Homo-oligomer: A and B are copies of this chain.
């Protein structure tokens, strides 16, 4: 760890307060910046990333050396590492965000009143967004670009392990802002790595942070949800369910179970629990579990399931509430949709649930009675993703019910205001 990364608590409070004030000040010109200007800034950022590749690689090498010395795991070092291909992907990601439709100024709704007033509800930026993330340096670029596209100022607080890489990437973002004549404080990177900086952000920097978005593991999100005094867009975990109804197509059920669980086991949309309708225990359970087992998945099941399929370990109560993020699935028989709904409403983290069924009434019941952000019918839970939803890019998935829910894309990073046109109307 470099000495310059360290800072005393009091210094951090002052520094963060200053960063908050600068962000709020930058938010105003940003909110009225034209779509063209924001697009130009993003394109210039991507060019700077490409042009300054060597600089970024050198900074990243320093982080890698520090990380190895600090004994980071192989998985963490892999998340940290940049190469030419990953840097190209970062630049391409920024260009893709540049090419999204600018949401600011969109008329979301409009109507006329009997007295002749014409009312429009128009999208505006949210203001200042705080993003707190761990060691992936690409989040610096993704989050900075997406917040800018929606006209927001952003304060980025990356993990200490990636601070040098993030600084190098951040320098490219600032170059893009300045090339387009936008304030450099529109995207600020917290230059210190102590935990006090996070604490200050969670307190809202004296009203200068409008929303916090944590990107990271359970411990980070838990800290944010406990300490934050401003709204948070996040999910604590993704305990996602796949329910196979008695009306399911068996072949489809087996394929979807494998995809939902095994395509990538470490993402939040991966299925963690398989529920099978007791009515088809004899016909559907074994083929679906065999497909999972053959794909390399370990199975933990209740006694009833194990009496039918014996290649399964026993599941404990804890399993139903566990996000494995691994090639493990918990399995249970339930009494139809009502049983699935009851289990899911008890154990789900309200992220994403899927039903495999041909019976429209079963699907309707599942969709109506489960209160999760995303419900899927005859599709893999792994579609829980802003890109797959057609949002172009996302900054995360939210399971809260205020403002944003599900994938948080550029539109979810906006607010709105009312514009009312009259011709001299007075209120009677």
Contacts and interface: CB of A to CB of B under 8 A. Distances in A.
Interface of A: 28, 31-32, 111, 113, 117, 119, 124, 126-127, 210-211, 229, 231, 249, 252, 255-256, 259, 263, 345, 363, 367-369, 371-380, 382-383, 385, 388-390, 401-403, 405-406, 415-427
A262 B256 CA distance: 65
13 contacts: A32-B368, A113-B390, A231-B231, A249-B424, A255-B424, A256-B424, A371-B417, A375-B418, A378-B421, A380-B425, A383-B420, A405-B416, A406-B418
Contact of A415 (B402, B417, B420, B422): B402
Given A375-B417, A380-B427, A422-B379, A402 B263 contact: no
Nearest to A29: B369
A417 B377 contact: no
Contact of A427 (B111, B249, B263, B417): B263
Contacts of A389: 113, 119, 418
Given A126-B401, A367-B419, A415-B405, A427 B375 contact: no
Contacts of A255: 424, 426
A375 B423 CA distance: 14
A373 B417 contact: yes
Given A211-B402, A376-B420, A380-B426, 9 more contacts: A32-B368, A117-B379, A126-B401, A249-B424, A372-B417, A373-B417, A377-B421, A379-B426, A383-B422
Nearest to A417: B373
Contacts of A31: 371
Nearest first, the 6 closest Cβ-Cβ pairs linking A and B are A379-B422, A259-B426, A401-B415, A382-B427, A403-B403, A252-B424
A287 to B, nearest CB: 15
A288 B403 CA distance: 41
B417 A406 contact: yes
B424 A374 contact: no
A105 to B, nearest CB: 8
Contacts of A124: 371, 401
Q: Which of A211, A379, A383 has the most CB of B within 10 A?
A: A379
A378 B179 CA distance: 39
Nearest to A420: B376
A259 B259 CA distance: 64
Contacts of A119: 389-390
A29 to B, nearest CB: 10
Contacts of A256: 424, 426
Contacts of A419: 367, 375, 377
A219 B388 CA distance: 47
Nearest to A267: B427
Nearest to A264: B427
Contact of A383 (B111, B252, B263, B427): B427
B210 A402 contact: yes
Contacts of A28: 345, 371
A378 B415 contact: no
